[in-house]
Amino acid sequence: MTAAPTRTAGLPQLLVLLAASSLSVLGAVLIAPVLPQMSAHFADVPGVGILVPLVLTVPALVIGLTAPFAGVIVDRIGRVRILLVALVVYAAAGTAPLWLDDLGSIIASRVVVGVCEAAIMTSATTLIGDYWTGDRRNRYLGLQATVATISATAFIAAGGALGVGGWRAPFWMYLVSLILVVPAARLLWTVGESSSGEASVRVPLPWRTLVVPCLVSVVGGAVFYALIVQLSFVLNGIGVTSSGMIGAATAVMSIATAIGAALFGKLIRLGRRTLLPAEFALAGTGLVVVFATSSLPVILAGAMITGFATGVLLPTLLTWAVDRLDYAARGRGTGLWTGSLFVGEFFSPLVIAAFAAATGGLQSGIAVLGALSVAVATVLWIGLSGRAVVPAR
């Protein structure tokens, strides 16, 4: 696994890393269409209204808690070694709910999935940063978000279709990670790895350059994840109960997210000072639109607005955080950013539940989060206008 000095990454390496990156999205969205079915199956379990959404969201909390440590490990042990182990364990833990009938055990298996996702996402993103630089790195990080959201569309549609056969069926999809093990072992290497497997250079983590992007990413994660979790319940509330229809509606939102991510490479020319406030404002507007109606087409329009905005937002936040990281700190910095994003994703349904309890309904709770997103946009517009945002290298 020791890298040759002249080894250069190309399309095969990029394809493997993009495919691996999509696995964290699989974990985030695959079972969203069957959450109402799970709620019905475990209806007698106390606290089912909180516990079933946790089956979807607890991996995000675990990623948030463990990704910074995963970053330390990939800097010390090697990106590829961690990636390979995580791919195998991911398949085993991801399919565990096929055999489990206790909600607590299922949530425990999802904790393991979260640990694997933290390792996979941190390793894959760090390797993209290692293999490429400058505009190409930014383009590939944007492509990473694009592929992830396109994959989300496919995974959501698959989850909805498989959900017709019961809420357990979508969990078979976790076996897909095993397909990547051999290509990853043959095609990937850790840049700068010594014979002992450790990076040859250690540098302190630049906390001052990371703290603001990471804090903003917590909010970004909450906004991004809001409709991924809640759209199925919103649609149930207006009378749409078919898992296939819910999957199709969520897939439409994901297509909008993919379009936004695909345009990141062009839109980044506007500069983060312009993009970040615009993205938060547009995402918040879409959430308010979802609140304002019981019409399916209008709700879908609001979901698409939010999806498009968050599709551009995620690579903007990622490049803002990692552009200024040197090789020896890149794993830790990427892990810290990944952790921040997924902490926001985990707390998204909890925050919306609190807002819903205070305002009297799910859609009104979503609207409050939308208003918060617009407020963050205003703060960013004022704050970034008075400071330099370092451009991509």
pLDDT tens digits along 156-174: 778 878 888 888 999 999 9
CA atoms within 13 A on the CB side of 288: 13
**Residue 203 pLDDT > 80:** no
pLDDT of residue 6: 59
Residues 248-267, mean pLDDT to the nearest whole number: 84
CB 352 within 8 A of CB 221: no
In a domain, 196, yes or no: no
Q: Which of 145-149, 201-205, 216-220, 362-366 has the lowest mean pLDDT?
A: 201-205
Residues 243-265, mean pLDDT to the nearest whole number: 81
**Residue 385 pLDDT > 50:** yes
Q: Is the dihedral of CA 121, 93, 111, 33 positive or negative?
A: positive
Sorted by sequence, the CB contacts under 8 Å of residue 229 that are 6+ apart come out as 32, 35, 53, 56, 57, 348, 349, 352
Q: How far apart are CA 164 and CA 169, in angstroms?
A: 8
pLDDT of residue 387: 57
Chain length of the chain: 393
pLDDT of residue 179: 96
pLDDT band for position 60 (cuts 50, 70, 90): confident
In a domain, 5, yes or no: no
Residues 119-124, mean pLDDT to the nearest whole number: 92
Question: What total of structural domains would you count in the chain?
Answer: 1
In a domain, 393, yes or no: no
In a domain, 303, yes or no: yes
**Residue 3 pLDDT > 70:** no
78 or 82, greater pLDDT: 82
CA atoms within 13 A on the CB side of 322: 32
pLDDT of residue 236: 85
Sorted by sequence, the CB contacts under 8 Å of residue 363 that are 6+ apart come out as 234, 237, 290, 291
pLDDT band for position 391 (cuts 50, 70, 90): very low
In a domain, 3, yes or no: no
155 or 391, greater pLDDT: 155
pLDDT of residue 326: 78
Q: Is the dihedral of CA 76, 79, 80, 83 positive or negative?
A: positive
pLDDT of residue 218: 94
Look over the chain and give the mean of its residue pLDDT values, rounded to a whole number.
Answer: 85
pLDDT band for position 386 (cuts 50, 70, 90): low
pLDDT of residue 393: 43
pLDDT of residue 108: 95
What pLDDT digit, counting tens, does each position of 275-296 carry?
999 999 999 999 999 988 888 8
Q: How far apart are CA 374 and CA 73, in angstroms?
A: 37
Domain encompassing residue 237? 11-191+206-385
Residues 11-27, mean pLDDT to the nearest whole number: 89
In a domain, 352, yes or no: yes
Token output for 31: 């079972």
pLDDT of residue 392: 43
Residues 54-66, mean pLDDT to the nearest whole number: 85
The distance in angstroms from the start CA to the end CA of the chain is 28
From 327, 314, 202, select the one nearest 267 (Cα to Cα): 314
87 or 332, greater pLDDT: 87
Q: Which of 44-48, 151-155, 309-313 has the lowest mean pLDDT?
A: 151-155
Sorted by sequence, the CB contacts under 8 Å of residue 268 that are 6+ apart come out as 138, 142, 275, 315, 316, 319, 392
Name residue 2's beta-bridge partners.
190
**Residue 112 pLDDT > 60:** yes
Q: What is the CATH number of the domain that holds 184?
A: 1.20.1250.20
Residues 325-345, mean pLDDT to the nearest whole number: 84
Q: How far apart are CA 73 and CA 82, in angstroms?
A: 8
In a domain, 50, yes or no: yes
Percent of the chain, pLDDT > 90? 37
In a domain, 275, yes or no: yes
**Residue 328 pLDDT > 80:** no
Residues 252-260, mean pLDDT to the nearest whole number: 85
